[in-house]
Amino acid sequence: MTMTLDTEPRKLSLHEEHLRKGARMGDFGGWLVPLFYTSIMEEHAAVRTKAGLFDISHMGEILVEGPGALDFLEKNLPRRIAPVKQDQAIYMPLVNDQGGMVDDIIVYRRGDDRFMIIVNAGNIEKDFNWFKARAPKHVTVTDLSESMGLLALQGPLAMQILCEGFGAYYRDLKRFHCRSFEEGMIGRTGYTGEDGYEIMVPKTKLKAVWDVIFRVGEKHGLLPIGFGARDTLRLEAAMPLYGHELNDEITPLEADLGWAIDLTKESFPGSDVLKKQKQTGITKKRIGFEMVDRGIPRNGFEVQKNGQGIGTVASGSFIPTTGKNIGMAFVTASEASPGNAIDIMIRGKAVKAVVVSLPFYRRKG
């Protein structure tokens, strides 16, 4: 989480609606966002058991299109794009020449040579410049972030609510696929570990879509969800957050995202570095851990083994679903095995923890 102190945070287009629903607002990456409406625990539970609606309009949307757009992305992204069918999506990190991660993105194929790319809010300008600098003359790169909004409907009842609100046309929408909707699209994706949808529409239509979802969803127990529960949900599902488990120095292999790159490709930015790292082995690795003794781990806390530093906590929190204190960290690769006893340094004290397999939570079915 990046706090911006020197400028006023930007407001979401639904800012007044969030206040009307009682949101406690706070700064996230230069945006004034709802942290919670009732409580993080209640909102976390709603997404796990019923459904929740998130306003994630701070996210960025970059359109890449034109003759050769497919070839351009094929050469510059770390996964094969040609096999991606129209209206299918694919997740991957955006990799720099040193093998580090510029961002993590979702690429939606909307036509033969037309791609919508969802990027993290704090990286919109950086990502846009990354694509723009590499694009040939016949490929157009457009930042649509100012005009498009994004909502996330997540939870076991998300499909029922979506179809009641917008029609059975979306019932058979497969995971990581999308369909057109109101000058935008609905994709079956999410950042919570639950089934759900991300709905992208022009910001002028965002309030109307928000209202329809709540009109239908409130009888099903739908709640508005703040960024506090968004963070605990994604942590429980072991989904990385830029600035914590991802940055320009961490490689996908170190972040345990080797599945999201294709090292059989001839080349892409950073591929030589990553292929060498694959051969020689990584020296640090992302792990999950549970606290054995009392204490909540936080970003930046030191991880120790027998009094020696072996790594650093990337994310940590109390999790309502299990009632446990959990976290993700980067540690020396030799200490990354599940079951390994480690210590988290909290206020100068070594607090016992144990390495566990990721994810912490996996939805049934």
Does residue 118 lie in a domain region?
yes
The CATH number linked to 157 is 3.30.1360.120
* 264-303 residues labelled b (16+ CB within 10 A) or e (exposed): eeeebbbbebbeebeeeebebbbbbbbbbeebebebebeb
Count of domains for the chain: 3
Tokens at residue 101, please?
A: 């991660």
The CATH number linked to 131 is 3.30.70.1400
Tens of each residue's pLDDT in the chain, 365 residues: 444 445 789 999 999 999 999 999 999 989 999 999 999 999 999 999 999 999 999 999 999 999 999 999 999 999 999 999 999 999 999 999 999 999 999 999 999 999 999 999 999 999 999 999 999 999 999 999 999 999 999 999 999 999 999 999 999 999 999 999 999 999 999 999 999 999 999 999 999 999 999 999 999 999 999 999 999 999 999 999 999 999 999 999 999 999 999 999 999 999 999 999 999 999 999 999 999 999 999 999 999 999 999 999 999 999 988 899 999 999 999 999 999 999 999 999 999 999 999 999 999 87
Does residue 363 lie in a domain region?
no
User: Domain boundary at 168, 201, 234, which?
Assistant: 234
Residues 352 and 264 reside in one and the same domain: yes
Count of Cβ atoms closer than 10 Å to residue 313 Cβ: 23
Count of Cβ atoms closer than 10 Å to residue 365 Cβ: 5
DSSP assignments along 143-154, one per residue: E-TTTEEEEEEE
Residues 17 and 158 reside in one and the same domain: yes
Does residue 114 lie in a domain region?
yes
pLDDT at 6: 58
Does residue 219 lie in a domain region?
yes
Q: Do 258 and 17 touch, CB atoms closer than 8 A?
A: no
The CATH number linked to 300 is 2.40.30.110
pLDDT at 7: 78
Residues 6+ positions from 116 with CB-CB distance below 8 Å: 61, 62, 63, 107, 108, 110, 185, 200
Does residue 116 lie in a domain region?
yes
Q: Do 34 and 310 touch, CB atoms closer than 8 A?
A: no
Does residue 26 lie in a domain region?
yes
Does residue 212 lie in a domain region?
yes
Domain that residue 285 falls in: 258-356
Residues 108 and 165 reside in one and the same domain: no
Residues 265 and 117 reside in one and the same domain: no
Nearest Cα to Cα of residue 121 among 165, 193, 57: 57
Q: Do 313 and 299 touch, CB atoms closer than 8 A?
A: yes
What sign for the dihedral angle of Cα 202, 208, 214, 216?
Answer: negative
SS3 per residue for 171-203: CCCCCCEEEEECCEEEECCCCCCCCEEEEEEEH
Side chain identity at residue 5, one-letter code: L
Residues 154 and 211 reside in one and the same domain: yes
pLDDT at 2: 42
Does residue 244 lie in a domain region?
no
Stated pTM of the model = 0.95
Distance CA 135, CA 195 (A): 35
Residues 266 and 281 reside in one and the same domain: yes
